A and B are shown apart, each in its own frame.
Chain A
């Protein structure tokens, strides 16, 4: 069935270092790939997204890359700060047959000051 795998499950970095989270999706009909940040007790919030007709997108310290052939997409955070500590979820959405979004299992990012 449809699946999104996300790695690593936990990531600990020193402040100022980069963090990379990788996801793989199974449904080739997926055409939209959002990344959400969820702090403890709060709602998921979109931090960046990419559509299937784009290979890379950047927004300040955050970038996302998409390899449609390999069904891989990745989140890159540069110059990490303690306030980046949270759980990050990747997701894959397809618009055929409704707007179905499947989330990865999440990555708990710790940024040490």
Chain B
């Protein structure tokens, strides 16, 4: 299984809502990533987890809260978002073996904040 899955595919939420994005992989990868991608822009790194520990937080606002419950799952908890947070949120995973390896991307969650 070489697939990263993400749920939901689409999400519409108000600025006062609390919601979560979920990501799952069963490739035995020990690094997992959250990216944000606006239309016609490249993916922008948000968070990196390595061996279930947060290793990189790219100064992301606290209204985004990542969680890695185990080596296969990655969540992104959303609270009090702004309309400018509307974007495609991509999850990715990769091997961790001393050198970086290919990142496998999930299909993304398209988030709209109203």
Q: State whether A101 and B45 are in contact (beta carbons under 8 Å apart), knowing that A51-B99, A93-B100 are contacts in the complex.
A: yes
Q: Are B100 and A99 in touch, CB under 8 angstroms?
A: yes
The closest CB in chain A to the CB of B102 belongs to A46
The one of A32, A98, A100, A102 in contact with B99, judged by C-beta atoms closer than 8 angstroms, is A32
Categorize the interface residue count of chain B: 20 to 34
Q: Are B42 and A32 in touch, CB under 8 angstroms?
A: no
Interface of B is mostly: strand
Q: State whether A49 and B50 are in contact (beta carbons under 8 Å apart), knowing that A99-B94, A105-B41, A105-B42 are contacts in the complex.
A: no
The one of B40, B96, B103, B106 in contact with A101, judged by C-beta atoms closer than 8 angstroms, is B103
In the bound complex, what is the Cα–Cα distance between A101 and B33 (angstroms)? 10
Q: Are A98 and B55 in touch, CB under 8 angstroms?
A: yes
Q: Which residues of A contact B50 (CB under 8 A)?
A: 98-99
For residue B42, give the distance in angstroms from its CB to the closest CB of chain A: 4
The closest CB in chain B to the CB of A90 belongs to B42
Mark each residue of chain A from 23 to 65: 1 if its CB lies under 8 Å from any CB of chain B, else 0.
0000000011010000000111110010100000000000000
Q: Does B43 contact A (CB under 8 A)?
A: yes
Q: Does A95 contact B (CB under 8 A)?
A: yes
In the bound complex, what is the Cα–Cα distance between A44 and B108 (angstroms)? 10
Q: Which residues of B contact A49 (CB under 8 A)?
A: 102
Q: Does A110 contact B (CB under 8 A)?
A: no
